[in-house]
Amino acid sequence: MDVKDKVILLTGAAGGIGSALARLLAGKGARLALMSRNVQNLNRLRAELDDSALVVAGDVGDEKSAEKAVKDTVSHFKRLDVLINNAGSAYHGSIEHMDMKAFDAMMKTNVYGVINMIQHALPYLKKTKGMVVNISSVAGKRAIPMLGAYSGSKSMVDAISDALRVEAMGYGIKVLNFCPPEVDTDFAKNAARERGIDFEAQKKFRRAMTLKPEKVARMITAGIEKEKREIVAMKSIRPLNYMVPGILDKLFYRFIMKPYKDRYSS
Ligand SMILES: NC(=O)c1ccc[n+]([C@@H]2O[C@H](COP(=O)([O-])OP(=O)(O)OC[C@H]3O[C@@H](n4cnc5c(N)ncnc54)[C@H](OP(=O)(O)O)[C@@H]3O)[C@@H](O)[C@H]2O)c1
């Protein structure tokens, strides 16, 4: 799909990956509707994009907001070609001490939000034989300690993508599931800070696997242009987890759990 002149509704637009993606897509001539909760951040991004984009503030986890975002986009641009479900949040903490309120809030964004947006966008995507892009995570392919709940929410995004791809095939709608590894945005740092965890202490281990948001934006855009079904931006994760899952357990323990042993072994 050539993104030029295509109408793209992008959730989580003001975040690290979202804003890099918005800049790249706008540069390629896409017409953008930018959604997230903080209007000021969206307006700042819009001003940077020559004011050509539409700002549709709202919470993807709220069904009425999702409906309004899709309706506002279609009433402004008269069509919808691509929905990018990029909004996401993390819950950082052990299964043992999981805060169920924080878990609910995360699920509302990462899972209910994806479904809400898809349900309201599908009638319009059927008309354009458009595309749904879900931003999942490599954590959905192999759960990461202290991110068990988040990993599970992304496994669910993978399942939604796989099921929807076949359900919507008859309408000519394509589905791309994109799974990044760690990306250099505030996302992971904020989640860790909320749990009182010093992310900087793990810098050495993480630096080797961290991508820049601009690179991730290029990979997602290429996936849309080539109409890929899934991109896992860390190819080794699935074969490793299939062939040597015990080695991954030990690596995760060594590099993620051990620095926090005192805190989490009581
Ligand atoms: N960064 C990573 O290491 C990483 C790795 C793998 C996958 N991912 C996935 O990539 C996606 C983007 O991550 P990022 O790193 O760019 O995160 P980010 O910098 O924290 O940005 C997240 C964006 O989502 C918006 N958002 C959050 N909750 C929302 C809600 N309920 N409704 C609407 N908008 C909401 C935020 O804006 P408001 O707060 O203003 O709403 C923000 O614009 C997420 O789905 C994440 O799970 C990230």
User: Per the confidence metrics, is the pTM higher than 0.85?
Assistant: yes
Handedness of CA 169, 61, 182, 49 (dihedral sign): positive
CA dist 116 and 85 (Å) reads 10
Give 10-31 pLDDT, tens digit per residue. Answer: 999 999 999 999 999 999 999 9
Q: Which residues contact 223 (CB under 8 A, 6 or more apart)?
A: 133, 176, 178, 231
Best mutation site among 37, 83, 117 for ligand 1, i.e. most ligand atoms within 8 A of its Cβ?
Answer: 37
Instruction: Supply the pLDDT for residue 182.
Output: 87
Ligand 1 atom with least separation from CA of 182:
3
Task: Delimit the domains of the chain by residue range.
Answer: 7-264
C-alpha 187 – ligand 1 centre gap (Å): 6
Closest residue to atom 32 of ligand 1, CA basis: 59
What is the dotted CATH code of the domain comprising 7-264? 3.40.50.720
Ligand 1 atom with least separation from CA of 213:
16
C-alpha 265 – ligand 1 centre gap (Å): 30
Instruction: Supply the pLDDT for residue 242.
Output: 85
Residue numbers annotated as active site: 150
Mean pLDDT across the chain = 91
Give 63-103 pLDDT, tens digit per residue. Answer: 999 999 999 999 999 999 999 999 999 988 889 999 999 99
Instruction: Supply the pLDDT for residue 205.
Output: 60
C-alpha 85 – ligand 1 centre gap (Å): 10
- List the structure tokens of 30: 């896409």
Contact 256, 204 (CB under 8 A): no
Instruction: Supply the pLDDT for residue 266.
Output: 44
- List the structure tokens of 77: 């641009």
Q: Mind listing the pLDDT tens digit of every residue in the chain (266 residues)?
A: 999 999 999 999 999 999 999 999 999 999 999 999 999 999 999 999 987 899 999 999 999 999 999 999 999 999 999 999 999 999 888 899 999 999 999 999 999 999 999 999 999 999 999 999 999 999 999 999 989 999 999 999 999 999 999 999 999 999 999 999 989 888 867 766 665 666 666 666 666 668 999 999 999 999 999 999 999 998 788 888 888 999 999 988 887 787 666 555 54
Instruction: Supply the pLDDT for residue 199.
Output: 65
Ligand 1 atom with least separation from CA of 37:
41
